[in-house]
């Protein structure tokens, strides 16, 4: 059984930055890789930028396509098959000491629009690699743990989430949401941050930026078209939101994701 230690992946690392129990890596796969069972020394999150593979885990098979965010517990057995060439991933590795220091469990990590965007923002910060990078990276990651949802989530929260995801590029007023859910606006305002980890406006912007990231990988739209398609008032608003949540300007990211 192959054990992969810190910063070690089956491809070639073209970027590596470690600080405070966290390691950010960018890995490229240009040739056939080991397809046997293996595991990693540390917990990690992988964002697939290009290519992908079919991955097997215990009693589960996952199609790792561009845009997917995969989470791996330390020691979790898996194997990658039919890896496309070239493929390109961003990896965020989290050591056990980091979680212990902050009294966290890896399973507490929220899976939300914030997760993928935060991985991009953390990666961008790791490329800067200055004296502020450690604090910035830790803050971005810890925000994803900061809002543990209750085991007893009200049914209207699930309905609200489905509604926002289905109509991600539409404009809503609080009163419209209230009428559709039959929930008082004060109740929505009071409990939204508890279950979503941010305000309603921030959540909608994250959904729209995340969709823009997907569309930009297809390369079929201009920035102006993307801005309007994703529900932004104009290109300048789109650029500001994109940089806020990813750390990249849209044109910079569009150039970056091209091999």
User: What is the overall mean pLDDT for the chain?
Assistant: 90
| Pair 118, 246: CB distance under 8 Å | no
What confidence category does residue 146 fall into, taking pLDDT thresholds of 50, 70 and 90? low
Q: Return the pLDDT at 134.
A: 92
Q: Return the pLDDT at 148.
A: 53
- Domain assignments of the chain as residue spans, ordered by start: 2-142, 155-196, 202-256
| Pair 106, 93: CB distance under 8 Å | no
Fold held by 202-256? Arc Repressor Mutant, subunit A (1.10.10)
Task: Summarize pLDDT for 77-106 with one digit per residue, the tens.
Answer: 999 999 998 999 999 999 999 999 999 999
Query: Does residue 38 carry a pLDDT above 80?
Result: yes
Task: Summarize pLDDT for 179-198 with one digit per residue, the tens.
Answer: 999 999 999 999 998 888 88
Which tokens sit at 67? 């845009």
Separation CA 196–CA 50 (nearest Å)? 29
| Pair 94, 72: CB distance under 8 Å | no
Q: Return the pLDDT at 173.
A: 87
165 three-class SS: helix
Region class of 3: left (phi > 0), else alpha (psi between -120 and 50), else beta: beta
CATH for 2-142, among 1.10.10.60, 3.40.50.970, 2.60.120.10, 3.40.630.30?
2.60.120.10
Span of 60-69, 89-98, 103-112 with lowest mean pLDDT: 103-112
Burial of 204 (0-12, 13-18, 19+ CB in 10 A): buried
Q: Return the pLDDT at 150.
A: 53
Query: Does residue 256 carry a pLDDT above 90?
Result: no
| Pair 49, 6: CB distance under 8 Å | no
């Amino acid at each position: 059984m192959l054990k992969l230690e810190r910063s070690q992946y089956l491809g070639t690392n073209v970027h590596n930055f470690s600080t405070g129990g966290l390691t950010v890596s960018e890995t490229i796969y240009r040739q056939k890789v080991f397809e046997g069972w293996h595991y990693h020394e540390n917990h990690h999150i992988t964002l697939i930028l290009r290519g992908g593979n079919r991955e097997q885990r215990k009693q589960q098979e996952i199609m790792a396509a561009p845009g997917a965010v995969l989470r791996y517990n330390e020691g979790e057995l898996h194997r990658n098959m039919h890896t496309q060439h070239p493929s390109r991933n961003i990896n965020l590795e989290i050591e056990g000491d980091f979680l212990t220091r902050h009294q966290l469990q890896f399973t507490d990590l929220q899976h939300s629009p914030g997760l993928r965007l935060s991985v991009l923002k953390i990666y961008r910060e790791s490329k800067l690699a200055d004296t502020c990078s450690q604090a910035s990276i830790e803050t971005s990651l810890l925000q994803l743990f900061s809002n543990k949802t209750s085991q007893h989530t009200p049914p209207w929260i699930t309905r609200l989430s489905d509604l926002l995801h289905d109509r991600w590029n539409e404009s809503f007023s609080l009163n419209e949401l209230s009428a559709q859910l039959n929930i008082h606006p004060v109740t929505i305002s009071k409990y939204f941050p508890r279950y979503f980890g941010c305000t309603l406006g921030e959540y909608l912007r994250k959904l729209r930026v995340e969709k823009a990231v997907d569309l930009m990988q297809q390369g079929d739209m201009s920035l102006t078209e993307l801005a309007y398609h994703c529900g932004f008032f104009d290109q300048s608003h789109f650029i500001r939101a994109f940089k806020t949540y990813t750390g990249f300007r849209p044109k910079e990211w569009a150039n970056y994701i091209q091999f």
